[in-house]
Structure 1
């Protein structure tokens, strides 16, 4: 009898804990959204959702009949209202946990600001904040997500993978996730920067399947420069060289390829960056902050497109010096250009000053962007060439007449 009572007591205690799958969601009832676009539509928000078509990407069905994704649109006063409103056209409820890319239209980013959208997504428990954020340059986010791409059959995956690879191998681009963007927007002493994306080619063909049925596609997506923000509104764009300088200042460059002019002759020497790092320090001189930037760069010779002999240590040292001058020039021009055109600190110098001397920064934080224009910045670069490739000197001098 006692054993039975113990068993019943245990069951009564455990039973409330066994809630089962009360919040289960069947896959065949969900529309998996991989790409989210946000555009301005009058005084409202237009949402574009790139949703996977399961039958077209299933290995069993073979695919190839239709497109691998479809796009739904809805307009409402707020982001989540518009996403919920997508069910007016979508036969499935939109599932947000697998968003890979968030694209803002340029008009929306300039006029409306992006904070409310980022805040809504950060607050939404079903949306993970590890998606990449981009700005559609000279076009709408809906058009970017509407473009079919070769190699990667899902456009949102293409955008994510292209930006991820480019940020690791090409210095003008960088990645920004949703949580990183939110952190930048609410942190003092720094303004947001987001990589841009544009459509190159025939816009009218971009959404057709014929866009991927030829070797040379009529339209393709191309990352282009960095978008500069003041608070949460787009105010302008950096050029390619300015973007390179920005990423060197921020320490975002991992590997890349660049060139320097050949000494005393026409042509150039291309160098492949193997690894690079940026050391940022703040010193106070007579009560005023001075930012010291030092870039350490290790590279190898990629190609020699001139009659320059590189088979000696003196020649290598000369190239290292030219590389150092080029790195300093990129950083200095980027900082000075941003000061002149945008008057905002996108480099995070204010953050470095806050970490070094919080009391000083708290006195100037309310007008830090004005202080940034007069900030003393010192630049230094240390470049080392470790390899010259599989050749020593170029054989250009041995070419037959």
Structure 2
């Protein structure tokens, strides 16, 4: 009897292990979406899903004759209605867990705003918020996701990797993920900024395999400048120098290359090895004051003028000139944003809140007006640690 009871209990304990996953999905039933584009279609939202074609990217296939991705499009009143509607043309259910880039068309970002889309994706449990967000400059998101690219078979991967590398090595660009963008939109004292992407060259050939069959692709994707938002709507674009100033203020610069005119003729090229920026606010006589302190360690990349790099006096002059240039970039960026957009994209309001929460709460609704007259003090410290494998330039010694 005891033996039978033990057997029954054993079977009872094993039964739960024999059940399958109720929401299991077979891989060959899913369409893996890596790029999601959002555009305006009249009063509706148009989604473009860049989906991987498994046979074309499989190593066993040895490289197929078709394109590595395909694009499905659908329009509806809301984001998820449109995504679900993609099944009208897609033979597989669209799987959202591997989205790499979310691209907004410029018209949609200007007129409809991006909050509803970001909120819907944040709410969706299968969509991870670590994708990069971009704005298609002077074009639609669907056109951007149409462009086939060399080196990377999957255009969405190309966009993700290009932006990731560029943000780490080139100061005018930065990365913004889905969850970071949500924080920008709901946090007081700061407005969102998103990197743009544009299509260079012949758009008509962008989706053909001929676009990657030549050394110089007829159509190319290029990250370009930063887009400025008020709440969730696009209001304009920063220039390259303004974008640099913004990233220096926001402490987004890891490494970059820049040049500066010599005091006589030619240029000196610098490689930034390390850059850190600290922002701090204080209240002085009832008014907020922002202090920006930037520290930069650089090396000499190239010298196009006959200056004596081996001289400590010359190095000190270069350091001083570099400090002035950094401050100038930041000042010009702030001045331009005040003049053209009248919104605080730098997060100065957040610094005021951290310094005195009660004071900021009193002025929060009028913060953009305070931003217009905000007293900002800049301080820069540049150290040139390396001069490369040469000391003085030999330009003056060139033969006649």
TM > 0.5: yes
1:389 corresponds to which residue? 388
2:357 corresponds to which residue? 358
> Partner of 1:60: helix, strand, or coil?
helix
1:341 correspondence with 2:340: yes
2:280 corresponds to which residue? 281
- Measured in 1, the distance between the counterparts of 2:110 and 2:280 equals 33
Task: Give the drift of 1:189.
Answer: 0.5
- Measured in 2, the distance between the counterparts of 1:212 and 1:64 equals 14
Task: Give the drift of 1:17.
Answer: 6.6
- Measured in 2, the distance between the counterparts of 1:58 and 1:339 equals 51
Task: Give the drift of 1:296.
Answer: 0.4
Task: Give the drift of 1:285.
Answer: 1.3
1:182 corresponds to which residue? 182
Number of equivalent positions:
400
1:331 corresponds to which residue? 330
Alignment of 1:187-266 (within 5 A): 187-263=187-263, 265-266=264-265
1:272 corresponds to which residue? 271
- Measured in 2, the distance between the counterparts of 1:49 and 1:237 equals 26
1:65 corresponds to which residue? 65
Task: Using the TM superposition, name which of 367-376 and 141-150 deviates more.
Answer: 367-376
1:78 corresponds to which residue? 78
Alignment deviations for residues 290-323 of structure 1 (CA, whole Å, 9 cap, x no partner): 1100110000000001122211101000000010
- Measured in 2, the distance between the counterparts of 1:46 and 1:114 equals 13
1:101 corresponds to which residue? 101
Task: Give the drift of 1:15.
Answer: 3.5
1:152 corresponds to which residue? 152
Q: Which runs of 4+ in 1 moved over 4 A?
A: none
Provide structure 2 residue ranges, at least 5 long, that are not aligned to the other structure. Answer: none
Q: Note if contact 2:55-2:64 (Cα within 8 Å) is conserved in structure 1.
A: no
Alignment deviations for residues 109-144 of structure 1 (CA, whole Å, 9 cap, x no partner): 000000000000000011000000000000000000
Task: Give the drift of 1:2.
Answer: 2.8
Alignment deviations for residues 193-243 of structure 1 (CA, whole Å, 9 cap, x no partner): 000000000111111110111111111011110000000000000000000
- Measured in 1, the distance between the counterparts of 2:13 and 2:226 equals 58
CA separation of 1:15/1:272 partners in 2, compared to 1, >3 Å: closer, same or farther? same
> Partner of 2:60: helix, strand, or coil?
coil
2:162 corresponds to which residue? 162
User: What RMSD, in angstroms, separates the aligned Cα atoms of the two structures?
Assistant: 1.1
- What TM-score, normalized by structure 2, do the two folds share? 0.98
Q: Note if contact 2:47-2:79 (Cα within 8 Å) is conserved in structure 1.
A: yes
1:301 corresponds to which residue? 300
- Measured in 2, the distance between the counterparts of 1:69 and 1:31 equals 10
- What TM-score, normalized by structure 1, do the two folds share? 0.98
Task: Give the drift of 1:7.
Answer: 4.3
Alignment of 1:49-60 (within 5 A): 49-60=49-60
> Partner of 1:302: helix, strand, or coil?
strand
1:45 corresponds to which residue? 45
1:172 correspondence with 2:140: no
Q: Note if contact 2:39-2:47 (Cα within 8 Å) is conserved in structure 1.
A: yes
